[in-house]
Amino acid sequence: MNLHRLIRRNRFKNRARAEKAPWQWPRFIREWRRYSRRAAIAGLTVAALGVIAWGLDRPIRIISMDGSFQRVSPGQIEKAVAPYARAGFLSADLDAIQSSIEALPWVDHARVQRRWPNSLHVTVIEQTAVARWGESGLLNTRGELFIRAAAHVPAELPRLSGPEGTEAQVAQRFLAAQGRMLEAGLRIAALRLDERGAWEMDLDSGVTVRLGRRDVDERIDRFIRTASQVIAHRMSEISYVDMRYSNGFAIGWRGAQTPAAAPAKHSNDTDA
Closest Cα to residue 129, out of 146, 112, 109, 111?
146
**160, 171 contact by CB (below 8 A):** yes
Distance CA(128)–CA(237), nearest Å, equals 35
Distance CA(247)–CA(78), nearest Å, equals 61
Distance CA(98)–CA(111), nearest Å, equals 6
Provide CB contacts within 8 A for 10, sequence distance 6+. none
Helix, strand or coil, per DSSP, at residue 266: strand
pLDDT at 127: 96
pLDDT at 27: 63
**270, 197 contact by CB (below 8 A):** no
How confident is the model over 224-240, as pLDDT tens digits? Answer: 999 999 999 999 999 99
Q: What is the DSSP string of 154-211?
A: -TTS-EEE-STT-HHHHHHHHHHHHHHHHHTT--EEEEEE-TTS-EEEEETTS-EEEE
How confident is the model over 82-113, as pLDDT tens digits? Answer: 999 888 888 899 999 999 999 999 999 999 99
Question: Model confidence at 57, in pLDDT bands (50, 70, 90)?
Answer: confident
Mean pLDDT of 251-264: 67
Mean pLDDT of 208-220: 97
**172, 184 contact by CB (below 8 A):** no
How confident is the model over 135-193, as pLDDT tens digits? Answer: 999 999 999 999 999 988 888 999 999 999 999 999 999 999 999 999 999 999 999 99
